[in-house]
Each structure stands twice: as C-alpha cells, then as structure tokens.
Structure 1
Amino acid sequence: MLLGSVLNPVNSTIIAVALVPIGRALGAPASQTAWLVSALYLATSLGQPVVGRLIDLFGPRRLFLLSTGLVGVAGVVGALAPNLGVLIAARVLLGFGTCAGYPAAMALLRSEAERTGRDSPGGVLTALAVANQTIAVVGPLLGGLLITVGGWRATFALNVPLAVVAVALGMLRLPRPAAPGGPRRRGELVARLDLPGMGLFAAMLVSLLLFLMNLHLRDWYLLALTVVAGAAFAFRELRAATPFIDLRVLGGNTPLLATYGRALVAYVVAYAFLYGFTQWTEEGFGLSPFHAGLVQIPMFLLAIGVSVLSGRRRGVRGKLLLGAVGQIVACAVILTLTGESPLWMLILVALIFGVPQGLNNLALQNSVYFQADPERTASSAGLLRTFAYVGSMIASSASAAAFGHHADTAGMHTLAWVMLGAGVVYLLLTLFDRTLGRGTGPDAGAAA
C-alpha cells in the first residue's frame, strides 16, 4: 500500500525537473508543457473518488491491481512518445493508473482497524505521509539523475519496473474480497455504483478543470457547463437511494468540508512552488535539472522530520496554523529573490517550505480518516485528493499564465503573489474553524 500510494507523487515530482528538457526536445514553450502537469491531475481528480467508491464496494485488491497495471502501460507509452500530444496522453493514463493507491491504503487501514478492534492508526498514517514525503525527496533528484543518464524519456520508463513490483506485491499480499454471495449480491453492488451520478460528476469536474487550465473569458461556456452539470449532479445525488457522493451526509459534515477547502488552497501553494519555483531555478536562475532537484532536497528532508515528530499527536489545529504561517513566510521570501540572489537564499526558501509540507499533508490526511463516514473511507480519501488536485490545477494554470514562454523572475514574483493569497486563505480557514478546537480524533470524528 505504501508503494501504491507513492506512484502519483513520484510522477508529480519527477516531471517538475523534466518540463524544461521536454520543452527543449519537443520545441514546446512552458505554456504547453504545463499540460503535462494538468493532464495527470485532470485524470486523477476525476478518477480518485470514482475508484475510491469502487474500492468501498468491492475492496481494494481488484482496483489496485487493475489501476497499477495501467501505470506500467503509461510508462511504455511515455518512453516511446514521438510528440507532446502522445506524451500528454501518457500522463492521462498515469493519472488514472495512480488513482487506486491512496484510497486503497486508507480503506485497508480502516478494514484492519475493524478486524482487529484497534482504531489507533497514527503510526500507519504517519508512515503513509512519510512515504510520500520520501518519494518527494527522491523525485526531483532522481529525475535529474535519470535525465542526465538516459534523457527525459527515462522518467517515464521508470514507471514500468515500479508497476511490476507493485502489482506483484498486490497479488501476493492484498486480501481477497469476501465471496459476493451469488448473482443477487453482485447485482446489488452494481446497482449501488450510481453510474449517472458518476457521469454528471465527471462532466462537472472536467469542464471546471479545462476552464482552470487556461483561464480566459472566451471559455465562459466551460464555466457555464460546470454550473449546469453541478446542479444536475446535486439534483441526482440528493434523490438517489445510494448516491455516488452522499451530499446530505457531506453537507452536514462541516469539519470534513473545511478540510477539503484547506486541501484545495494548500495545494495551490505547494504545487505552484514545486513546479513554478523549480522551472524558475532552471530558466531564471540558470541551474541544471540535477541541481534544481538538489535545491528541493532540504525542503523534503525537513518535511519528513516534521512529519515523524508530529505524526503521533492527534491535535491538528497547531499543525495547521504553523503550516499556514510557514507558507506565508516562504512566499514573502520568494518575492525578494532575483536571478542574482545567492544560492543559499533558494535553499532557505526550500527549508521554510519544509515546515508546511510536513505538517499540512499529515494533518489533512488524519482529519479525513476520523471525520469521514467509515463506510465511505476510500471515496472520502479520494475526494480529498480531488480537492488537492483542483488546487494543483489552479497552480499549474497560474504558473502558465505567470511565465508564458519563459520562466523569468518577474513571472516568479507574480506567481508568488498568487501563492501568498492562497496561503492567507488557508490561514483564515484554520483560524475560523471552531471544530478544530476539539482536536481531530475519534471523538471529533463522531461529533462530525
């Protein structure tokens, strides 16, 4: 489960240092290579809650094996891609392929807690967070090494052995689902899929994300389609016997909604830094892909340490507040950077970002585990990732708009103002969330 859950972040972080080499090789500007980021998150934003719901109904084994196998296929397609269009298609496949890992891990954790009667997952939740942070440490550096040795295509080929190992481990270790109890039982499960709800959710999300990818008034029809599809989705879900997303329960779960809101703005900041700042260190500051990856290492190392130290503490308010302050301070420092700044200032920014990177992810993950309906743990975890990926799409769109054809210092400063605004919203959402005063644990989850 740890390996499956990191397939998405490894592809997220590796591509950060590969964007510039890919653009040079294929003759594509930064505004076009940004689609390599957007494509993965478009697919994953849609797939996470859908696959999560399927996992809630059918168990993690089948969905994990199928999705993770798709990761290997995407690795082959990307490694052999002749142009940017095929490369974007490979990233879409990667997005769908990495959908099952995290929801499956959360669902398995919940089922094991019920089986053993021990609902104390702090150590395992911390392990999930640290595993993702560790991959984030390795990703930029590994990406730089792979590009140096085998070119940018090696960053896609890496998915083939990772998928093979993950599928093999899944076949050996994942528990087989209980017998479905005959055709009637299988028919009941299929009836609970709510395919119309999934379709309307897909229409709403895809139109929204396409609008966010290239913000412009000429694309107003996409926003209109989002509103229409959203209204139809809400109408359907409020009347469905077994809704895809139970809006009645979700609407009454204010703590969980607040957690989703925080995830959205937190990932605007995190991914604008991951992609935008990394591109600037290469094009605006003059670092190689390998050295650009090295600059990220202090952030992720500190994030791992922060996650380990704070992982077993249930309270989340302090973590969220400190993470919010860290985001704001880091953005303020970025506004002082220029192409002539000393290298130690870039490392300082990375270190400051390490604090919110380590605290926010862990706090949001723990919040969802305790705040979600136990029967919808996987789909709730998937929905957390969907909100996070919407935030990452906003970050990608902001990066493309700020940089245009070249990631210069003026564009980096523009992006930093966007990040600063999102960081302030994150702080306000935390300060005015009274439910955090009770902490996030079993009692808080019950109260929610």
Structure 2
Amino acid sequence: MSNLPFGFGSSDPDKRGENEPEGGGQGAGGDAFNQLGQMLSQLGQMLSQAGSSSGPVNYDLAKQIALQKLAGGGGGNIGFNSSGDSENAVRDAAHLAELWLDAATILPAGARTTVAWSARDWVQRTLPTWQRLCDPVARQVSSAWVEALPEEAKHAAGPLLSMVSQMGGMAFGSQLGNALAQLASEVLTSTEVGLPLGPDATSALLPANIEKFTDGLELPSSEVLVYLAAREAAHQRLFTHVPWLRQRLLATVEEFAHGIQVDTSALEQLAGQVDPSNPASIEEAMSSGLLEPKTTPEQEAALTRLETLLALVEGWVDIVVADAVGDRLPGAEALRETLRRRRATGGPAEQTFATLVGLELRPRRMRAASALWKLVGDQHGMDKRDGLWSHPDLIPTAEDLDDPMEFSERLGTRTDLDDLDPIAELERTREQGDEADGDTPPS
C-alpha cells in the first residue's frame, strides 16, 4: 500500500513517503498500516464529536462552531439595559413604524410578530434558509473530494470514501459556522442581506448589533431603532404579500449556485495539507479558497436577474420608508444615506455570502431602482406603483432601470392596469402558490 487514500496523509512527517515492502508484512509496511489505523480512529472520533449530517454540509458542526464563537465574544447578549427592555423597545419601534408605513404603501403589515434577537438567535433561526442556499455548492464541493482522488486511491480507499465525503461536509460546515458567527455579530435585521432568511411573517431586529452600529453615528438610538424597524417591516410586507418574490429570490440564488464548479486541482493540493488528527488543518485548507468564479452565459443571466430583483426590493423599501418616515425623524435622511452606502459598497453580509456561495448579494443598482419607484409613484400613484408587484411579469427589468422615464411612460399607456386591484391580484397569486404547494386548506 504505497499510497494512502487521498487526503489521509500521515500525521508524522518523518513517516510520510515511506514505502511498504513487497511482502506487505511487518516493518515499515506494518507501521504504515498501524499509522493508518490510528489516523482513521482519530478521524472517526472527530466525526462523531462533530455530530451527524445526512447532507453535503455538516450543519450540526456549523451551528456548534457559530454558537461557540459567539459565546466567546459575547454574542449571546441582546443589548440595551436588559432583554426585557430590548424586547419592549423593539416592539414599540415596530408598532410606530407599521403605523407610518400604512400611509406609504397599499401592502398591509406582513409581520405577525416582532422579536428582538441575539446573535445566537439569528444563527439558530436563519440556519434552515442558509441550508437551502449553501447545499447546491456544498454538494459539488463534497463530491469533488471523491472525484479528485486518483483512481488507484479510489480503489484502495473503498468504503473509506464515505469518510472522505464526511470530511468535505465537515470542512464546509466549519467554514459556514465561522462565517455565520461573523455575520451574526454585525447584521442589524433579519432581512438586511436582501433575502428572507428568517421565519415567515416574523420581523426581527438585533438590538446589540444596532447599538454597535449606532455608536458610530451622531443620532439618537431611538431614531435609529425606529428607522431600522421600518425597513424590516417594509421588507416583511413585500415578502409576505408578494408570494412569488421569496421563491424567485431563493431560486435564482440556487440557479446561480448550481453552476459553480470546484477547482479539483486545487483540491488535490489542499487535501495533501489536511491532517485528520488536526481539525484546524481542515478549516485552514478550506479558507485557502476552493471556488472558481464562473462566467457562463447562464450564470451571467442568473446574476443579472438576481441583482435586478435585489435592487428592485431594496429600492422599493428605500422609497417607501422615506415616504413613511418623512420629517418625523430629523436624522432620517442621513441614516438613509448611511444604509444605502452600507448596502451598495458591500458590508460583512455580502462578503460572507460571497465566501459561502461565490455570489455577492449586492444591489448595485439600488439607486436606479429607487429613482424608478419614485418616478412611478409620483406620476401614477401609490396603487399602480405597488400593484406592479402583483405578478413577476409586471415588475421592471434591468433595461427599465436604464431608462425609467420610458418605463413610466409605457406604464401610463397600459389600460390593463387601470382596473387592476393589486391586493386582489396578490391574494390570487398567493392562492395559486398554495395550491401548487399542496397547502390549500380543505373546503
């Protein structure tokens, strides 16, 4: 057995590269088998300690790492003077924000509950959505560990290939756990990355993170909290009452991720650096970078659709919140610009997601989308503006963002929208979606 299975290098550098005698008996060959047995035993213990996972990512390990890191960094603190104070402050801010939003959009309140989350809460409540987003990439990463094996190593490994796949799941789980811990310590609301990460119809704000964010601003903390509550509530109105939107966003991310390919030659080099007896070596190998950016036409089209849709969501929220807040908060305009820059320049959220899925969730054309929504609202009214969300075929395209005036003029000539009841259309779309999912209640 001159070659150990790929990725299972000896933990003793002095023993690596030793050849087994032709007879395969004792001596160096026996030592090699003993070392392999010890390494596999260590690997088995490590896998059992990390928890089990039936998919391509060890999400048990990801959750465990994220929560441990947050515990060490005070991520369990909820902010303000006490958890009770923060819960009350968040609920009061959300209630006020919803009242103001009622006059700025035809979409009714979307959140049935508003909660204050700690960073640990954010990890636990958003992990199911991260699983849906990361699985397409992780499946390819996991399979690449096996595909990159030389044929002789595959033959020698036999049933050990399942362990190699588990190592891939652990490696991705470790990377995901570290990334989620970083993101959880800085994200302000459940929808800040532009995706509906949390449970349906639940507005969530992270008071401890909002406190840190407010420290760098010359604004009262109460104003910041109400403004962020309004943004979260506006997102929830869209995601709740535009039933196709949530599915379209997540499906477009999945479509892009499915096309990502793993650089197997890089994996071969990295796997040689992995020591099964040292879990840190797996994390170090993964952090070296595994994903190679793709430029296929299909992926470019998916990226354009995603960026446009994110821009339309963020632009609509920007305009609606600005209309709702108006002059009620003296620092609203400064805060609006701060948040615009935070999203457009790419903060920790975008960087984290780019690391995990190879895709930046950056609404690069948010300002253009804001200008388009404002123009449509000014020229055609709030009802027609918000009514465009009633069907995916009605919303503006990337080309419309290039020429919002032409889109607005074209909208004015569409007689099919004059008698449109946006709420009725949205409800009809929701019912169709429920029927497709088999969720229609019995009559």
Q: Same fold (TM over 0.5)?
A: no
Q: Which has the higher contact order (CA 8 A, sep 6+)?
A: 1
Q: For this structure pair, what is the TM-score category when the shorter chain's length is used for normalisation?
A: under 0.3
Q: What TM-score, normalized to structure 2?
A: 0.25
Q: What TM-score, normalized to structure 1?
A: 0.25
Give the helix-richer structure, 1 or 2. 1
